[in-house]
Structure 1
Amino acid sequence: MCSKSNSQAKGKDRISELPDAVLCHILSFIPTKYSVRTSILSTRWKSIYGSVPNLDFEFEQMSTTWKEEYMSNYVGFLMFVDRVLSLRDSLDIQKFRLHCYCRVEDFSRIVGWICTAIRHNVVELDLCVYSDNIVCPTFELPQCVFMCKTLVVLKVKSNCITYAPPTSSSFPSLKFLDVKVDYPEDDSVEKLFTCCPVLEDLSIDATIRDALILSFKVSAPELKRLRMTFFSDMIVGRVDLYYHYGQYWDDEVSERATVLREAFSNVKCLSISAHFVEEGCLPAFDHLTELKLVLYDCYHWDLLTELLEKSPNLESLVIEHKKDEECVKNYDETESYSKDVLYSENRWSTPPICLISHLKTITVRGFEGYPHVKKVAKYLLNNGKVLTKMTVYNDELYKELMLERGSRSCWVELV
């Protein structure tokens, strides 16, 4: 009897015993082409698949020539998306993800898919659409996207989508916008950010031609996070202070970057990824309590010095190192590191106010056991009068700090 009972238990379909809502939730995490296949299991599974809130379509095969086999797969993909959307009925779509390469003659079809998602009250729209055409004709993002009242997240990466939003009432519910454009030749990108009344998170990546100046106005009174990256053959400029030695950097670029940074002087939490920042270009961060500073192989400890001096109420500090091939090629490690640390030590003869009165936690990670790293870590630990914890990720550095202490209540942790 016991053996028979165990055998029946092993053969039991426990997945099918789950509630429809749970099964639907599970299917929402896999690509649509796989979730569709469950519809052949039974009438119940067909109903479950039809209720999945997320649609994920991807065709990222890239070919310079539309050969028969490739073309057959591509046409199959188009027909599959058409069929799935035609069976959607009146059910809402939570997330619509479309990643594909396409032909110019299929632009109208893609526009139709986007509009269908909007009609089904989509909340998150993720578009990565690239044209195979060298001349690269374009199509406009449908007006219904800008007017959609349910759209909260919009991600667009494309070499063929342009933007012509209405002059008012754009993006009434949009809180997260992530846009990547390649070689924009008109002002459509500029128009995209002119009316975002509730936008909180904005990420912009653009690849521009040498002679092109890309300018735009961002109107987003509720903005809390901004990330911008611009690439060209001559210059790489980023709001997160990305800079390489030997690359072009003039007074005009520095002045624009300074004005931009001043707009964030009232932030409470700040993350900066920096290769180089000219001295004196940072504003005062009187309200800053949390700072994360990502340094590259160029290090530039004077940036940390200036940030600490201008952040009197800082309570939490994270210093992280990341490798950078370009930085290494253009930097004399031994000589420059020692000068940089010496320069910071001279400026720190009087410790920054935050070290004496506010800074409670420090994390140092990603660094090797170089002498200059030890000097900086020891200085922070010795002068942190209210420190409660320092976390390090290097065993050698941990041993060096065991006897250092400026605060009796501080302890050093090795992770």
Structure 2
Amino acid sequence: MGSQSKPRAIIKDRISQLPEPVLCHILSLIPTKYAVRTSVLSKRWKKLRAFVPNIDLDDKHEHFSERNRDRNDYVHFAMFVDRVLSLLETDIHMFRLHCSIVEDFAPIEGWIRSAIGCNAVEFDLRIESFRNKIFQLPHSVFKYNKLVALKLNSNCLSYVPPESGCFPSLKFLHVTVCFPNNELVEKLFSCCPVLEDLTIDGVVGYDVLNFKISAPELKTLRIRLRLGALGIDGNNFSVNAPKLEKLDVTEVIFSNYNLESSKSIVNLYLIGGCSHHGFPKLSAPLLARISKVKNMYLSAFLLKGCSLPAFGNLKELKLVVRNRYHWELLTELLKRSPKLEHLILEHEHELCCTTFSDDEEEVEEYSTVYLGPQWNTPETVPICVSSHLKTITIRGFGGGYDEMEVTKYLLENGKVPNKMVIYSFVFFCGSEKLDKELVMFQSGSRTCQVEFF
């Protein structure tokens, strides 16, 4: 038997045996460049490329590093895009075009028209040019009645919508801006009659922005702004969205939010990048207007010195606490949230945080220097702790005095919690000792289970 060669096992190509709709779906999950390459496998695969529902065209897929790019790259990329779009034989679902080496805008308009002709319902456009030219978003995009989702990211794009009939079906809009101009983008936020989900992302500069957002069907608003320059006050957002349910804001310098209607908001997320003298002044009126929220995610220092309203409907609270910031904010929030059922404390350990002020002499550095206990045990137990709080989660636990006291207080005074989960800080190595200390804490609830990770 050793002298006789064994017959080679026949390897079946199980992928090629899959139904064509399944294969087209698989190809839609990879960049179009690689989907096109599968056409060399067989005649069947060559046919499939014309029926892929998602078109993903990115000029950066052609290179391993920016060093290899030259001016001819745009020409080669344009030829590739023309070829792909000319071979389409069916409607498509998503059209993604990321072009970072634009030399001429004329082909881009043609590619967008081709995607509209193929009835695409999702557009993802990222267009960059460094020739100080402006590319105006074609009116055909505004008027396209099948467009449901639009994502725009460009350093050269302007928005001049028609006077009427804009985005009749658009429900999802994500705009990334870079040092935006009010006049160029503000109209975009108020010409979407059925818009339900809006995300504004990007970098702002020295100029104070005054954005007006008017969307009668808007349910979710996300604003994530970073600073390209320090030393500015917050921007101004006027929001007319009577059906708004979720407001998600992440900013370094908190903006002023004027909500014309806020009764429907049930989810609030306010996260700041650093401490700022204007946070309490700006956050207090916003919190007062949306005090009926059911789920809230806050940075503790946003509330420093802030007059808090009562949150009578609040069911879940996530509070981010940073070094040296006031633990009494937790006490105040517990007092003002009588129906709270789920509490998440996230302790961020940071090396430094800067407080910005109009007076340079008042600029103060916050560090991890230990200044003594900050937690003061409340004189009375809040109603939510004794009667409603079901789950407690503590993240970033470092074993400090304040953290231990807060954990002990919640565990001993909670009458109905069924679970407390503690996640330790990545550099905390005293888990075994902590386990022993936690076991010594008396629990006010007989059914509460404590887990430590």
User: TM class, shorter-chain normalised?
Assistant: 0.7 to 0.9
Q: Equivalent residue for 2:15? A: 15
Once the two structures are TM-superposed, the CA of residue 113 in structure 1 deviates from its matched residue by: 2.2
Partner residue in 1 for 2:365: 330
Aligned ranges 1:86-165 → 2 under 5 Å: 86-89=86-89, 91-103=90-102, 105-133=103-131, 136-165=132-161
AA paired with 1:400? E
Tell me if structure 2 keeps the 8 A contact 1:229–1:238: no
Counterpart residue identity of residue 353, structure 1: I
Shift of 1:201: 3.0
| Distance change >3 Å, CA 309–CA 22, structure 1 → 2 | same
State the one-letter code of the partner of 1:278. K
Change (3 A) 1:69 1:255: closer
Q: Do the aligned partners of residues 29 and 378 (structure 1) sit closer, same or farther apart at CA in structure 2, a change above 3 Å counting?
A: same
* Partner in structure 2 of residue 279 of structure 1: 305
Task: List aligned pairs for 1:390-401, cutoff 5 A.
Answer: 390-394=420-424, 395=431, 397-401=434-438
The alignment-based identity, stated in percent, is 48
For residues 254 and 232 of structure 1, the distance between their equivalents in structure 2, rounded to whole angstroms, comes to: 23
SS in 1 for 2:128: strand
Q: Counterparts of 1:370 and 1:62 in 2: how far apart (Å)?
A: 51
Q: Is the 8 A contact 2:351 2:367 kept in 1?
A: no
Question: Retained in 1: the 8 A contact 2:373–2:401?
Answer: no
Secondary structure at the aligned position of 2:211 is classed as: coil
| Corresponding residue of 2:389 | 359
Q: CA deviation at 1:141?
A: 2.0
TM-score (norm 2): 0.77
Looking at structure 2, the residues matched to 264 and 111 of structure 1 have their Cα atoms a distance apart, in angstroms, of: 43
Judge conservation of contact 1:297–1:327 (CA < 8 Å) in 2.
Answer: no
- For residues 375 and 324 of structure 1, what CA distance do their matches in structure 2 show? 21
Correspondence for 1:369: 399
Task: Tell me, yes or no, if the aligned pair for 1:388 and 1:409 is still in contact at 8 Å.
Answer: yes
- Secondary structure of the 2:303 match is coil
For 2:333, the equivalent position in structure 1 comes to: 307
Counterpart among 194, 204, 209 of residue 214 in structure 1? 209
Partners of 2:289 and 2:154 lie apart in 1 by 29
CA shift, 1:325, in A, is 4.7
* Displacement after TM superposition at 1:412 (Å): 0.8
The amino acid of 1:109's aligned partner reads P
User: Quick one: structure 1 residues 164 and 69, their matched pair in 2 at CA, closer, same or farther if it must change by over 3 Å?
Assistant: closer
Secondary structure of 1:341's match? coil
Map of 1:410 onto structure 2: 448
CA shift in 2, pair 1:392/1:221, >3 Å:
farther
Q: Tell me the distance in 2 between the aligned counterparts of 1:144 and 1:262.
A: 42
CA distance in 1, matches of 2:307, 2:133: 41
The one-letter code of the counterpart of 2:339 is N
Residues 221 and 397 (structure 1), Cα distance of their counterparts in 2 relative to 1, 3 Å cut: farther
- Equivalent runs, 1:142-291 vs 2, <5 Å: 142-210=138-206, 212-230=207-225, 231-233=227-229, 234-235=231-232, 236-238=252-254, 240-245=270-275, 249-250=277-278, 254-273=280-299, 275-291=301-317
Q: Secondary structure at the match of 2:146?
A: coil
The residue that corresponds to 2:82 in the other structure is 82
Secondary structure at the counterpart of residue 393 of structure 1: strand
1:156 is displaced (CA, Å) by 1.8
The structural deviation recorded for 1:109 is 2.2
Question: Larger deviation: 308-317 or 143-152?
Answer: 143-152
Kept after mapping to 2: 8 A contact 1:398/1:414: yes
Residue identity opposite 1:413 in structure 2: E
Q: Give 5+ residue unaligned stretches, structure 2.
A: 233-251, 256-269, 355-363, 425-430
Give the C-alpha shift of residue 283 in structure 1: 4.0
**Aligned partners of 2:353 and 2:30: how far apart in 1?**
40
Letter in 1 for 2:449: W
Confirm or deny: 8 A CA contact 1:202 1:223 kept in the other structure: yes
Measured after TM superposition, the shift of residue 80 of structure 1 is: 1.0
- Contact kept, 8 Å, 2:343 with 2:393, in 1: the verdict is yes
| Counterpart residue identity of residue 228, structure 1 | I
How far does the alpha carbon of each residue in 1:29-48 deviate from its partner, in whole angstroms, 9 at most, with x for none? 11110001111222211222
Residue 313 of structure 1 deviates from its aligned partner by 1.7
Superposed displacement of residue 83, structure 1: 1.4
Note if contact 2:352-2:367 (Cα within 8 Å) is conserved in structure 1: no
Cα drift, residue 281 of structure 1: 4.4
The answer on whether the counterparts of 1:275 and 1:298 sit within 8 Å (CA) in structure 2 is no
Tell me which moved more, 255-264 or 183-192: 255-264
Deviations, residues 183-224 of structure 1 (Å, cap 9, x unaligned): 1234222212114444333322242231x1111122234444
Preserved CA contact (<8 Å) 1:61 1:101: no
Q: CA 1:201 to 1:36, structure 2 compared with 1: closer, same or farther past 3 Å?
A: same
Structure with the higher fraction of residues in helix conformation: 1
Residue type matched to 1:46 in 2? K
Equivalent position of 1:340 in the other structure: 374
> Which structure shows the bigger proportion of residues in strand conformation?
2
Contact 1:242 1:274 in 2 (8 A): no
> Which shifted more, 154-163 or 15-24?
154-163
Letter in 1 for 2:75: V
Letter in 1 for 2:211: F
Separation in 1 of the partners of 2:167 and 2:351? Answer: 40
Q: Which moved more, 1:293-302 or 1:188-197?
A: 293-302
What does the per-residue CA deviation read over 1:225-267, in whole Å, with 9 as the maximum and x for residues that have no partner?
Answer: 333233241243247241524x5x34xx654444444454333
CA contact (8 A) 1:31 1:56 kept: yes
Residue 414 of structure 2 is matched in structure 1 by 384
Q: Distance in 2 between matches of 1:16 and 1:4?
A: 30
Q: Which residue of 1 aligns with 2:318?
A: 292
Q: How many residues align?
A: 396
Provide the secondary structure at the position in 2 that maps to 1:102: coil
